[in-house]
Structure 1
Amino acid sequence: MNRKFIDWPTFIAAFILLLAVVIPLVIYPEAGTEFVNKLNDFVSGNFGFLYLVMGLGIFFFLIFVAFSQNGHVKLGEKGEKPEFGTASWAGMLFSAGIGSSILYWATIEWAFYYQGPPFGIDPNEQQLEAIQWASTYGIFHWGPIAWAIYTLPAIPMAYFFYVRKTPVIKISETLRPLLGKNSDTVLGRIIDVLFIFGLLGGAGTTLALGTPLITTGVTDIFPLEDTMLLRTIILLSVTAIFGISSYLGLKEGIKRLSDFNLILAVFLLIFVFVTGPTLFIAETTTNSIGLILDNFFHMSTWTEPLANIEGFNETGFPESWTVFYWAWWLVYAPFVGLFIARISRGRTIRQVIVGTIIYGSLGCILFFGIMGNFGLYLQLTGSFDVVSVLNEQGAPVAIISIINQLPLARFMVIVFVILSIVFLATTFDSSSYILASVTQKEVENGEPERWNRLFWAFTLCILPLTLMFLGGLSTLQTASIVGGFPLIFIMFLLAWSFMRASTGDLKADDKFRPKTVVLDYKSIREKIRLRRLRKKEKKNPKNNDEE
């Protein structure tokens, strides 16, 4: 155990802040829920539009970076090949980015939109429009903007770690071009602690959603009762799995679990597509992609502006869904960005941006297109009333009931539960790995301390236990919106810091050509020093002659 590498002020402050939030919520659950709801009303009511502007802005900023000279910079040494193959790289970033939440929402999200469609559509009088948007909006929420939000932090972090060779992976270090020496002060620690707390909050939401789903699947397979005790046991079991994976490290644990996860996910999707209503799934998914392309800007900026005017009905759709999702991605963005940065050695910035957005979006299209439209087909044909089960028994029961409509139902429920566990584990082994990295002064040999990884693996389950105790999807959504608000400004600073650092380095590199560029930062610093010296000589030629 090498304690000298641990950043103890950041480590302790993050843990104390977590306890300071969790303990009052456990002691005063009703008052805690009320307080969080009031914060949500204030943030979403007054600043919801900021989340939407941020999402669209990040997407177009990254497109610009990818096809600018900055996008040609290679994250590594000249001639160095990518550390991971494309399939493993895509599998790891996808698993880290979406977790078991994709199984939860891809299967059931359409049912919420079916009952409460966007744009003021009446589901009873405009049923066709409601059905089309029900199958479309999930793909939009989990599409290019979501993955762009994830990618933004990855670019500056990877740049500083692999190009500028900084020995630490931290938000404060990535902001050094803007903060200067303040990165080493209280301000830098506050930024790092806010990142850690945001990650713990986002992780809490995902674990608190995934655990009841796994529990419902387990009670469907075995004659057990769904209780808080069983959920706690399952949560701790999943925590042990991703704790072991994180302890083994990036290549031995996380990569292998992600590869297995990818194989199981592909099997599930192929099975549902082939044995389900194949033509309906293919046509409805294609139609949904067309709707998104036609309405991308409208969907990205719809704020329901007339909601507060008397005489107009307020649906609350943007705040409940689009703002919630952008906030959720925002809370996770620094963590997923750090992880993407860590696994992207040997690739260019352009490859990281385009690859993450395309592979991430494609994976989500497949899940929502296949799993979601299978459930929608059951509802429309009267084969199974998904909406009634959802409203009467809750989302986890409705999801497992949908899986039970497949051929070999018992076997597929087992596959679904295993996949849920592995998806959850692949997200949080990455989370604990990154949390350990952020709370260290240096990351020796690219790997944080093992005991540190294990500590954060089990710390991650504290907040989801609290959120499950409080209960209710609205509380989980509210926590994400409130927790993500400060990160809007940190994302802006990350983009600014990257452009200042990378553009300055490219200008200092006399050998820049419009193809893959390998920057030697030591050489760049020497060039900058010599240029400053020449400028000084031109200003004071007399002094130089005397010398």
Structure 2
Amino acid sequence: MKTRLIDWPTFIISFVVILGVVIPLIIFPEAGSELVGQLNDFVSHRFGFLYLLMGLAIFFFLIFVAFSQNGQVKLGEEEEPPEFSTPAWAGMLFSAGIGSSILYWGTIEWAFYYQGPPFGIDPTESQLETIQWASTYGIFHWGPIAWAIYALPAVPMSYFFYVRKKPIIKISETLRPLLKGYADTMIGKIIDVLFIFGLLGGAGTTLALGTPLISRGISDLTGFPDDMLLRTIVLLVVTVIFAISAYVGLKEGIKRLSNLNLGLSIVLLIIVLVTGPTLFILETTTNSIGLILDNFFHMSTWTEPFAMVQGIEETGFPEAWTVFYWAWWLVYAPFVGLFIARISRGRTIRQVIIGSMVYGSIGCLLFFGIMGNFGLFLQLSGEYDVVNMLNEQGAPAAVIAIINQLPFSSVMVAIFVFLSVVFLATTFDSSSYILASVTQKRLEGDEPLRWNRMFWAFTICLLPLTLMYLGGLETLQTASIVGGFPLIFIMFLIAWSFMKTSTRDLIIDEQYEPKTIILDMKNIREKLKRRRKKKPNDEE
């Protein structure tokens, strides 16, 4: 084992912090859950506006960078082609950033908005408005701002790794121009530990969403009871798949799994679009795009500021959904950014920014537009009462019930379950790969050590498995979001560090352009020739 490559302080502190949060939740689950819930309410209500402003600021900052001189910088050598083809690259970044959550929320999120619409709309009095926003808000929450939050860390990390030739990609390294020597002290370690803690909490919640969905689908196909035993088996099988993929490596494991993921997703979406209410799906999705374009700023900044003053009961919609999602993307951003950086060799910064935001948003639009609007059609047409199923048996049961309304229902549920497994495995092989990278001093051959990848693969699994039996997964999710609050300010520092460094490098490059160097070399040769003519017998 090449243990000398491990950044042991970051490795040990991360593991201790995780245990320091999980063990009290195991011993005192109710008290821990209550405390974390209070902290979450305090952060989301007192500082919710910060999350919203952060989302907008990141979005416009990246648009500026993409079309500035900084966006033209190549990540790698000037003549170097992209390491991965565009479809493979888009598939990997989409799979890593979304996971099985897109199958879960893309199919059922509309039903929550249908019952509790935004902007204080009364669903019993304004049904048309309710329906329109129900089909729209999910696309907004999983759209360009979400992918901009993901892309922000990717830009400086890839710049420092491929252009500045740093031996490792981690948050503290991107802040070195600002932190100077402090990047190697406890300050840098704490920044990296915050990232790891947030990622493990986010990973645990994604497993918590994906595992019941998969087990419910297996139960529907086989008749086995959807109990804790089945969910444990599902979680362990998924862990083995993504551990093997992470062990094999980026090109052989993660790339192939992502390609399979992308192909299955396209097949599923085409089947639902063709066999479902095609015209309704296309028209409703188009209408939703128009609503977002018309109300983008309103949706991005709505905070219910007057409800308390006027004595009107707050709906809690911004905190429960938009603030929550922006906080959630923020917690995941360093991980997804690291992964996007790792797979973007040979591309320009502009391609990384625009590609992440466009490909990611289009992928989510297709899932919400096709899967979500199919479920909404079932509800509106009276073919199936999805909302009642959701309220009585929960979201996983409602999702599988929607899939069961398709032709060849058993085949479709089987495809859906298999795709959920692949999505989940793709996300977590990427997670374990990046966690291993962050806890090393440098990468050897651009890959983290295999045993380190395996360690984090099983760590990601064991914590959610333990908390799943104790019912504490939601608490871990909330704790990770509260713990990720400092990332708002770290994101600002990341953007500042990148602009400072890349702009300075561009100025230096302009002063010493290749043309100038060539002209200088010509002048030197001419001088040498003149000297030889004057002293023909002199040695060179």
1:296 corresponds to which residue?
296
2:529 corresponds to which residue?
none
Structure 2 CA distance, aligned partners of 1:471 and 1:303?
31
2:271 corresponds to which residue?
271
Aligned residue identity for 1:157: M
Q: Is contact 2:281–2:374 with CA below 8 Å preserved after alignment?
A: yes
Q: Is contact 1:205–1:467 with CA below 8 Å preserved after alignment?
A: no
Q: Is contact 1:208–1:467 with CA below 8 Å preserved after alignment?
A: no
Aligned residue identity for 2:47: F
1:38 corresponds to which residue?
38
Structure 2 CA distance, aligned partners of 1:268 and 1:190?
43
In the alignment, is residue 254 of structure 1 matched against residue 286 of structure 2?
no
Counterparts of 1:76-155 in structure 2, within 5 Å, are 76-155=76-155
1:22 corresponds to which residue?
22
Structure 1 CA distance, aligned partners of 2:401 and 2:315?
29
Give the direction of change, closer, same or farther, for the CA distance of 1:404–1:476 in structure 2 (3 Å limit): farther
1:111-145 per-residue CA deviation (whole Å, 9 max, x = no partner) reads 00000000000000000000000000000000000
Counterparts of 1:183-198 in structure 2, within 5 Å, are 183-198=183-198
Q: Is contact 1:43–1:481 with CA below 8 Å preserved after alignment?
A: no
Q: Is contact 1:324–1:480 with CA below 8 Å preserved after alignment?
A: no
1:505 corresponds to which residue?
505
1:50-91 per-residue CA deviation (whole Å, 9 max, x = no partner) reads 100000000000000000110000000021000000000000
Give the direction of change, closer, same or farther, for the CA distance of 1:241–1:315 in structure 2 (3 Å limit): same
1:229 corresponds to which residue?
229
Give the direction of change, closer, same or farther, for the CA distance of 1:457–1:474 in structure 2 (3 Å limit): closer
Structure 1 CA distance, aligned partners of 2:466 and 2:147?
28
1:329-372 per-residue CA deviation (whole Å, 9 max, x = no partner) reads 00000000000000000000001000110000000000000000
Aligned residue identity for 1:509: D
Structure 1 CA distance, aligned partners of 2:144 and 2:36?
30
Aligned residue identity for 2:423: F
1:319 corresponds to which residue?
319
Structure 1 CA distance, aligned partners of 2:269 and 2:113?
22
1:490 corresponds to which residue?
490
1:11 corresponds to which residue?
11
2:363 corresponds to which residue?
363
Structure 2 CA distance, aligned partners of 1:246 and 1:470?
28
Counterparts of 1:402-417 in structure 2, within 5 Å, are 402-417=402-417
2:306 corresponds to which residue?
306
Q: Is contact 1:174–1:497 with CA below 8 Å preserved after alignment?
A: yes
Structure 2 CA distance, aligned partners of 1:400 and 1:225?
15
Give the direction of change, closer, same or farther, for the CA distance of 1:177–1:11 in structure 2 (3 Å limit): same
1:426 corresponds to which residue?
426
Aligned residue identity for 1:199: L
Q: Is contact 1:323–1:481 with CA below 8 Å preserved after alignment?
A: no
2:165 corresponds to which residue?
165
Q: Is contact 2:99–2:426 with CA below 8 Å preserved after alignment?
A: yes
Q: Is contact 1:77–1:346 with CA below 8 Å preserved after alignment?
A: yes
Shift of 1:470: 4.8
Give the direction of change, closer, same or farther, for the CA distance of 1:295–1:466 in structure 2 (3 Å limit): farther
Counterparts of 1:327-476 in structure 2, within 5 Å, are 327-471=327-471, 475=475
Structure 1 CA distance, aligned partners of 2:88 and 2:373?
28
Shift of 1:474: 6.1
Consecutive unaligned residues of structure 1, counting only runs of 5 or more, are 524-547
Give the direction of change, closer, same or farther, for the CA distance of 1:469–1:486 in structure 2 (3 Å limit): farther
Shift of 1:404: 0.3
Shift of 1:39: 0.6
Shift of 1:472: 8.1
Give the direction of change, closer, same or farther, for the CA distance of 1:95–1:444 in structure 2 (3 Å limit): same
Q: Is contact 2:25–2:472 with CA below 8 Å preserved after alignment?
A: no
Aligned residue identity for 1:92: M
1:432-483 per-residue CA deviation (whole Å, 9 max, x = no partner) reads 0000000000101100000000100010113322443454896466345313
Q: Is contact 2:29–2:472 with CA below 8 Å preserved after alignment?
A: no
Shift of 1:510: 2.1
Give the direction of change, closer, same or farther, for the CA distance of 1:256–1:14 in structure 2 (3 Å limit): same
Structure 2 CA distance, aligned partners of 1:124 and 1:512?
68
Q: Is contact 2:56–2:300 with CA below 8 Å preserved after alignment?
A: yes
Q: How many residue pairs end up in the alignment? A: 515
Aligned residue identity for 1:7: D
1:277-329 per-residue CA deviation (whole Å, 9 max, x = no partner) reads 00000000000000000000000000111232252121000000001100110
Aligned residue identity for 2:68: S
Consecutive unaligned residues of structure 2, counting only runs of 5 or more, are 518-540
Structure 1 CA distance, aligned partners of 2:471 and 2:384?
27
Give the direction of change, closer, same or farther, for the CA distance of 1:428–1:218 in structure 2 (3 Å limit): same
Shift of 1:169: 1.2
Shift of 1:219: 0.7
What TM-score, normalized by structure 2, do the two folds share? 0.93
Aligned residue identity for 1:257: L
Structure 1 CA distance, aligned partners of 2:146 and 2:480?
15
Structure 1 CA distance, aligned partners of 2:425 and 2:297?
35
